[in-house]
Structure 1
């Protein structure tokens, strides 16, 4: 079994500074996303309409009726979403490490691809069933993974969005968070709970199902990361899950009866 390396602060960086760095990264990424998701959820539960009758659109048009401007905005937000990952890379280099320390590289690309595909197959189907059950039970909004117009760039943008989500989440919420909390002396159970709760929190805008389902996924990903010592298989798994969800919804919405569309 490979264990995740979580050494104490290196290169003369104090624990206090490591903690501040972590808060800054989360404040620029998924920490604030979690707060925004909470506000969104409170707005949804105080709406007259039931949760299942409300729609949460993940990849919506940013310039309706203006496809080229819309494309420019889509690419802008994809690139912007990766900036916290660049910050993490810089902070790791500053302490004498790199993103390779988290297993974010192509050194084991075929093994990572195989492992990621297996994880995606196991979690993807289960996650879909859990979402459908949560939505039917009225504790989840209807999630629309794509609200993009039917233009030539829709599928490529959805795939890029899936990879942006997966890279940002797994590098920050899995690799970097676990490393920093380990350096700060946290116990393994506390680290897993924190990572899982954070992952669930920024999906709360989808409803209780989004919160619980992603917390469970977070625990599984933490355990696999500890075993493999690499985020790349989980990046692949997450990207495949999101790609199937985003592109599948764009192609199937309105054409199959079992897929809620709001």
Structure 2
């Protein structure tokens, strides 16, 4: 088993006034050669956007882009005619593929929106661009892994062009379990949304990130009431 620890206070940070963003990996003005990606996971941004503000229309291609709101509401529009509103409990995916222009804005003019912006390298290039969003019940992740993303359109959650699986979990203090990896050669990047946990023997706290690979499973114990995001991704792609 190999591991990689990114404590919350080592992340890149940019505060633009309207946008307060923490970067787990190199992004925009934050360039750390030691933190370019974790396998196929390229970007993990922890963003807070002020009321009435947002990212204006801009373009992407050949990237799988996932947005997970933590509080508030986020509004999406793109050049393919898609328009969606997402909030806590929702997961949004956009396969940029051959190219798409989009905007992501705070739907509220008075309240902040907090969300995770996640990019994964795809396993296929120049696929047709697509958009999807789904809503997930909070009770379905209480003391269990709730799958919210997979590579299979017929499986639970949104799907992307990569052999990746995302799970959310809300664990009570003292709850212990084990995560079984879905695919040989994958690794798992665990991001602590709230609380404290011990993963593969490593104590973790709020907004810490922890990568684990060269293993088939990892032990997880909640040291307080804890919310986790587990991102299983190929280490070679």
TM-score by length of 1: 0.23
Q: 1 or 2, which has the higher strand percentage?
A: 2
Q: 1 or 2, which has the higher helix percentage?
A: 1
Higher gyration radius (CA): 1
Q: Higher relative CO (CA 8 A, sep ≥ 6), structure 1 or 2?
A: 1
TM-score by length of 2: 0.25
